[in-house]
Amino acid sequence: MNNNRLNAYRIMWLLVFFDLPTETRIDRKVASKFRKEIQKDGFTMFQFSIYLRHCASVENAEVHKKRVKKLLPNKGHIGIMMITDKQFGMMEIFQGKQESSKKDVPQQLEFF
């Protein structure tokens, strides 16, 4: 197996899906704080309530998953999913009926 193929299965994407209440001022503040905190941890918005983060390995993804779990608000629905870079690369993205190009993959440095 070549190194690129190994990396496609070793490199991970961590996705956070959430539906948080926004009826009250306090709810909106909590939802906003959650979004800001996961962004501080390197997550970027994919869609309004879907954020994702590129991780160098399963172990690195687990670290960030634990951080998200510490930020979970008391109310709302949150999902966390880990997928390989290979799986992420097979995603088809559309804007209406037009296929959209994927965003550039962030470059990560690994030190051994």
Query: Using one digit for the tens of pLDDT, what is the confidence trace for 51-75?
Result: 999 999 999 999 999 999 999 999 9
Strand 98-99 and strand 94-95: the pairing is antiparallel
| Residues 3, 42: Cα–Cα separation, whole Å | 26
Q: Which CATH class is domain 8-89?
A: alpha beta
How buried is residue 19: exposed, middle or buried, by Cβ count under 10 Å (0-12/13-18/19+)? Answer: exposed
* Residue with tokens 């995603």, as numbered in its chain: 91
| Residues 51, 49: Cα–Cα separation, whole Å | 7
Q: How confident is the model at residue 32 (pLDDT cuts 50, 70, 90)?
A: very high
* Residue with tokens 């869609």, as numbered in its chain: 47
* pTM for this prediction: 0.81
Of 40, 20, 16, 41, give the one whose Cα is nearest residue 29. 20
Domain borders along the chain are 8-89
Mean residue pLDDT of the chain comes to 88
